[in-house]
């Protein structure tokens, strides 16, 4: 399977070999010194290395090959009813404060002769979540990728997120949740279709934490 160039560019916005862990370790040592800590003391002497390895894991979405992720799991299928995958948990990093935001994504599409393997929807969510993000952009990226991949009658993505940058610092509102949505095609143009999707994801949604 060969993806369109636009999808490759959407999924792979960065160039280069990936995270320079040696530079990250050096930077963390400098931060520890700057806040008055001793980078050599027991307990944090290995923190720079742990932090570098953690970043490589949390930001792996930049380095995922979308063709390898999909692994040919696109199927010609006459099914033409709504497909919904709800309560997909995700973890991301706010690009403004480098603090996590976590939540659940709900994804739906109306097939037009083609469906994608079930496990690929959560993998697509993770591909965009595991990078420096803002929730609004991530919501649209997921929808645009699925729309470009399947050319369905419509795509809908709703994301509910809990942002630690708003709970640990700043306004310190620990109960505040952010909801974003992107509706394309039938979900945008047909109120009944949109309402069916929203009613589906509203039934017994799992708590964020």
- Helix or strand run (H / E) with residue 30: helix 21-34
Contact (Cβ atoms closer than 8 angstroms) between residue 127 and residue 11: yes
pLDDT at residue 208 greater than cutoff 70: no
* The predicted structure's pLDDT at residue 88: 97
Instruction: Indicate if the pLDDT at residue 1 is higher than 70.
Output: no
Residues 6 or more apart in contact with residue 113 via CB below 8 angstroms? 76, 77, 78
The pLDDT tens digits for 116-161 are 999 999 999 999 999 999 999 999 999 999 999 999 999 999 999 9
164 touches 99 (CB < 8 A): yes
Cα(46)–Cα(109) distance, rounded to whole angstroms?
A: 46
Task: Provide the CATH topology of domain 65-202.
Answer: GTP Cyclohydrolase I, domain 2 (3.30.1130)
The pLDDT tens digits for 49-80 are 999 999 999 999 999 999 999 999 999 999 99
Q: What is the mean pLDDT of residues 192-206?
A: 87
Report, as residue numbers or ranges, the catalytic residues: 94-97, 135, 163, 165
Q: Are 155 and 114 in contact (CB under 8 A)?
A: no
Residues of the chain with CATH 3.30.1130.10: 65-202
What is the dihedral sign for C-alpha 165, 169, 174, 175?
A: negative
> 204: which DSSP letter?
T
pLDDT of residue 14: 79
């Amino acid at each position: 399977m060969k993806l369109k160039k636009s999808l490759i560019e959407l999924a792979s916005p960065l160039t280069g070999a990936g995270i320079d862990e040696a530079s990250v370790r050096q930077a963390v040592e400098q931060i520890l010194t700057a806040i008055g800590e001793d980078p050599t003391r027991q307990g944090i002497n290995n923190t720079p290395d742990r932090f570098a390895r953690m970043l490589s894991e949390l930001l792996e979405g930049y380095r995922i090959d979308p063709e390898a992720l999909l692994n040919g799991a696109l199927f010609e299928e006459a099914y033409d009813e709504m497909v919904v995958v709800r309560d997909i948990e995700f973890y991301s990093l706010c690009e403004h404060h480098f603090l996590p935001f976590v939540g659940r994504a709900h994804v739906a599409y109306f097939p037009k002769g083609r469906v994608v393997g079930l496990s690929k929807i959560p993998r697509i969510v993770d591909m965009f979540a595991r990078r420096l993000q803002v929730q609004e952009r991530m919501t649209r990226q997921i929808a645009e990728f699925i729309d470009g991949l399947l050319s369905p009658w419509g795509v809908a993505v709703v994301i509910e997120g809990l942002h630690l940058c708003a709970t640990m610092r700043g306004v310190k509102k620990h109960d505040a949740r952010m909801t974003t949505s992107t509706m394309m095609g039938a979900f945008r143009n047909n109120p009944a279709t949109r309402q069916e999707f929203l009613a589906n994801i509203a039934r017994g949604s799992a708590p964020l934490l």
